[in-house]
Amino acid sequence: MRLAARNDLCSGCRVCQLACSLSVLRENNPKRGLLKIDPHFPVPGDYSIRFCTQCGECAAVCPVEAISLIDGVYVIDKETCIGCMACVEACPHGVMVVHRGEDAPSKCTLCGACVEMCPRGAIYDADTGEGGR
Domain limits for position 92: 54-107
pLDDT along the chain (133 residues), means of 10: 94 95 91 94 89 97 98 96 96 93 92 95 92 67
Q: How far apart are the first and last CA of the chain?
A: 17
Same structural domain, 58 and 47: no
How far, in Å, CA of 98 to CA of 107, rounded?
9
Dihedral sign, Cα of residue 125, residue 12, residue 9, residue 97 = negative
* Domains identified in the chain, total number: 2
Which pLDDT score, from 0 to 100, does residue 43 have?
77
Please give the model's pTM, rounded to 2 decimal places. Answer: 0.88
Same structural domain, 9 and 32: yes
Which pLDDT score, from 0 to 100, does residue 132 have?
63
Same structural domain, 60 and 103: yes
Same structural domain, 58 and 100: yes
Same structural domain, 19 and 58: no
**Cβ distance 16 to 118 under 8 Å?**
yes
Same structural domain, 32 and 58: no
Same structural domain, 5 and 17: yes
